[in-house]
Amino acid sequence: MKMLLLPGDGIGPEVIDEARRIIAVLNTGHGLGLEVESAEIGGASIEAHGVPLAPHVLAQAKASHAVLMGAVGGPQWKDVAYHLRPEQGLLDLRKGLGLFANLRPAVCFGALADASSLKREVIEGLDILIVRELIGGVYFGEPRGIEELPDGTRRGFNTQSYSTGEIERVARTAFTLARQRQGRVCSVEKANVMESGVLWRETVTALHAAEFSDIELSHMYADNCAMQLVRHPRQFDVILTDNLFGDILSDEAAMLTGSLGMLPSAALGAPGQPGLFEPIHGSAPDIAGKGVANPCAAILSLAMALRYQLERPDLADLVEKAVSDCLADGYRTADLAGGPDTRQVGTQGMGEAIAARLAG
């Protein structure tokens, strides 16, 4: 099996180095047999190849079993042409691999129940799965652009658009995953103001009636969902939502778990296609190069690759347990609130502690 590593920019390379450390331990100690190669994406690719995703790197991604990415973007590239910005490389990769379903689990590890900005009793035991549509909606809708108006002012515009097929395939993923969990899906849109939301609700309702009537389905407007996530997050099992709402709600959900540095993701497409696994955080330019970034989201993204793509759920369990044990033993990167009996470590220190548990 082959995994393509795309470290990217900012803290990306720092956290991917720690994922690499975990792969090495799984290869030597647990018979994983995963071959890794690496390539550039984002700003790093602009420097190396002049574009944020080179065609040969997309081809390399397609030829591997899974792709693990760090992060893209940063102030160094603020002046490049808009269609060549680092983030476009990531969007092209998702689109190029047909990755329509983005799984973003927000799980509160027991040891971090006091690290959240919310009270322990609100987030203790939290286990939500956000299923975000990833290659449609306003991120990709046409027309889009900035145009000059006759009076000399300008107008910027984007298009939110969803077809029934795009809604059905991601909804099917959400319902199917719900069957392995608590069996509840909350579909989130703004059908009260957007036609695309009306179609979203109708399509999800019809699919539910036709194929998934054993699942409990509810609907919620996105603004209410944002509020409910901080009021009573444990009411949710699976949240199914579109590309833009999913982006926003998953950052919000991340903070429930203690830090954005804890949240992994898996982007999946058609069966047999390689998936893309990445932390949901960005390149964190404010802390890049300091060796303090939390590598847990990257390491837990590797665990998602083991679970959802590489058919090693046993190793995924081991990695998740190693992370959980390290947190229970008091290891904390700077983004996680400390407290009595905790010890602050850097990116490498956290990676080494997790690797040591897997090796021992």
Catalytic residues: 139, 190, 223, 247, 251
Quote the tokens at residue 151.
């009076």
Does the footprint of ligand NAD cover residue 294 (CB under 6 A)?
yes
Q: Are 24 and 87 a contacting pair, CB within 8 Å?
A: no
Choose the stretch contacting ligand NAD; rule: CB under 6 A; options: 91-99, 108-116, 218-226, 274-282: 274-282
SS3 38: strand
- Separation between Cα atoms, residue 239 and residue 223, nearest integer Å: 13
* CA dist., res. 214 & res. 188, Å (int): 19
Backbone angles phi, psi at 8, to 5 degrees: 80, -135
Q: Mapping DSSP to helix (H, G, I), strand (E, B) and coil, where does residue 303 land?
A: helix
**Identity of the residue, 91 or 206, whose beta carbon is nearer to ligand IPM in the bound complex:** 91
d(CA 298, CA 103): 14
* CB nearer to ligand NAD: pick between 53 and 260: 260
Query: Is the preceding peptide bond at 150 cis, omega within 30 degrees of 0?
Result: no
Interaction between residue 323 and ligand NAD (CB under 6 A): no
Binding residue (CB under 6 A) for ligand NAD from 129, 253, 260, 322? 260
Of 283, 301, 309, 324, which one interacts with ligand NAD (CB under 6 A)?
283
Q: Least distance to Mn ion from the beta carbon of 73, Å?
A: 10
Residue 241 beta carbon to Mn ion: minimum distance, rounded to whole angstroms: 13
As a whole number of angstroms, the distance between CA 100 and CA 165 comes to 11
Q: Which residues of 22-42 are buried (b: 16+ CB within 10 A; e: fewer)?
A: bbbbbeeeeebebebebbbbb
Interface positions, 234-273, toward Mn ion (CB under 5 A): 247
With CB under 5 to 8 Å by kind, the binding choice for 260 among ligand NAD, ligand IPM, Mn ion, none is: ligand NAD
Looking at beta carbons only, is 140 or 221 nearer to ligand NAD? 140
Binding site for ligand IPM (CB under 6 A): 73, 87, 90-91, 247, 280
The CA angle 10-16-17, to the nearest 5 degrees, is: 105
Does 346 engage in binding with ligand NAD (CB under 6 A)?
no
Residues found near ligand NAD in the complex (CB under 6 A) = 11, 15, 71-74, 87, 90, 260-261, 278, 281-287, 293-294, 297, 335
